[in-house]
Amino acid sequence: MALADPVHDKEIGVATASKTKGVPEWDRIANIEDLREIARKRVPKTFFEYVEAGSYDELTLRANRACLDALELRQRVMVDVSSRVQATTIVGQPVSLPVVLAPAGLTGAVYPNGEIHAARAAAAFGIPFCLSTMSVCSIEDVADSAAGPFWFQLYLMKDHGFSRTLIERAHAAQCPVLVLTMDLHVEGQRVVDVHNGLGIPPKLTLANVLDVAMHPRWAFGMLRSREYTFGNLKDAIRNSGNLGILSEWVKQQFDPSFDQHDVEWVRKLWPGKLIVKGILDPQDAEIAVAAGADAILVSNHGGRQLDGAPSTAEAFPAVRDVVGDRAELLFDSGIRSGLDLLKALALGARACFIGRAYLYGLGAYGEQGVRKTLSLLSEELDTGMALTGVTDVRAVPRDVIVQPSE
């Protein structure tokens, strides 16, 4: 079904007409940071900072980037790299690039019907899109409008009956992969969200009203949004149109009691591939594999949960050494370039999840911006492979990263 997009239809034309030093804005996009700057101007401050924020003092948020930056690549030039392959598989699914668009709550608040546009961009590029439980567009919305199968991310609720319903809905939508998030049984506080009054419902302040008024393109686009709440949760309770009531229900559903038995329960219900997300500790990885995980997503939730936790790059080697080849290992948190991808693959990851990187593209140009994000990552990865002597993303040797002793 075609989805009207009054914003995107005009975006490229506006960008092309906006020139600095004679070069159109679109043609000056050289990296993810360029898309970030455009998104910062086009997305209301409240929602842009929601994307950017880490929890508490943002120590882990900064560590994710600092630790990736600190890894040095070994330059190799006496190697034939005339043929380079980026295609691989992730839990058995063929992909054109070792990347998954990570589940992100409120994606549809960054750009009108954002989940649908991101899913379409991913399908066009040949990679998976993963829909969040806390999305604006529902499972059914995306299934109805996206160009192909997508993955679904599940937050377990205290109400296991409703969790079962979400699993059944994802299966009915032909989602081949379920991503079970384990690190949100309590919620880390994001200070900027408190300052901005971001909640369900958002606090109506003069600053917020002015913020929206300063972004008319975003505001008018939102008039065409399919949902104005958490689309997957609206059937959970009566009066779900009352955002205050729905918010209280969501807060009460976070369950600090769940453990490996709940993973086993999900494993029995879910017939497809199961990825367990939010693992930083080798012991937790062992438990997840024993409970039936097909893959482990090493992640600190993008620095949005436990502040002071290790970066993914720091935590990954210990998890890798414990898991071995019993499950695929995936990398999440901090990826901003194709060179970051290469570093993660050298650490032992099969592929990487990206969140903020694609949300910047989405906020800047909608579906076209997400495609631009993926093109940039692919081009940067290709250059990195050529200059490190790597010809296949399925066989990136660990010595691509220079060891400290060397």
Count of alpha carbons within 13 angstroms of residue 283, beta-carbon side:
1
Angle separating helix axes 367-388 and 338-347, nearest 10 degrees: 60
Whole-number CA gyration radius for the chain: 21
Which residue bears the tokens 């913020």? 211
How buried is residue 346: exposed, middle or buried, by Cβ count under 10 Å (0-12/13-18/19+)?
Answer: buried
Q: Determine the Cα–Cα distance for residues 377 and 122; give it in Å rounded to an integer.
A: 13
DSSP character at residue 174: T
Amino acid at 78: M
Structure tokens that stand for 93 in this block: 């699914």
Asked if residue 103 has a cis previous peptide bond (ω within 30° of 0), the answer is no
CA–CA dist 277, 288 (Å, integer): 10
Give catalytic status of residue 117 as yes or no. Answer: no
Q: Which 8-state DSSP code applies to residue 297?
A: E
Distance CA(273)–CA(95), nearest Å, equals 15
Residue whose C-alpha is closest to residue 152's, from 115, 125, 188, 126: 115
Amino acid at site 186: V
How far CA 371 is from CA of 9, 46, 330, in Å, comes to: 15, 24, 22
Tokens representing residue 405 in the block: 């002793």
Say whether 126 sits in a helix, a strand or coil.
coil
* Residues sharing a CB contact under 8 Å with residue 147, sequence separation 6 or more, in sequence order: 119, 120, 123, 124
Q: Which residues are catalytic?
A: 301
